[in-house]
Structure 1
Amino acid sequence: MNKSQLINELAVQASLTRAGAERAVNTMLNIITQQLQAGSNVTIQGFGTFSPRHAAARTGKHPVSGEPTHQPACVKAVFKASQQLKDSLNP
């Protein structure tokens, strides 16, 4: 399912217009992004937790030439599914 399909499904299940569903999805994604940028975790009870994780700088290899390349330190977004979500996927 992609974002457009998610918006359409939300509109149908919540009896919203497509524009209203799109605003809701975009607002939720913007809030999660802002919190991650601020260094905060976002926990959705029964679904999971989004958290920022710092990755240290490292040396990698160019896939074609095999030459070493420098990978700078960065912050990555990580999602950890809740136990309730895991259980619902594996009844």
Structure 2
Amino acid sequence: MLLNTENPILITTPITSRQDLYTALAHAAHPCCHTGETQNFVIPRNLDGMADLLREFCIKSIVCSDWRLDEADTKAIQEVLQDVKVRLQR
């Protein structure tokens, strides 16, 4: 089961670290979060893992209502998002 790619991922939890973002994306994207099956659930640990998750689930847009990352982390994440053609609204 893949996400409806017409709808963005909505993240309402505070994003204060890269790991916060990786965790929020994984919880929003993985079908196992909605079915209760967690044996294959993987939370990315780095930007490459985040990019893989975004590609795997065909995510095209992320809306984050409480972005608190510093400039360096924001820039690094935006570079990856640009590479995988994902829009970020914050």
TM-score bracket, shorter-length normalisation: under 0.3
Greater strand share, 1 or 2?
1
Structure scoring higher RCO (CA < 8 A, sep ≥ 6) equals 2
The two structures have a TM-score, normalised by structure 2, of 0.26
Based on CA coordinates, which of the two structures has the bigger radius of gyration? 1
The two structures have a TM-score, normalised by structure 1, of 0.25
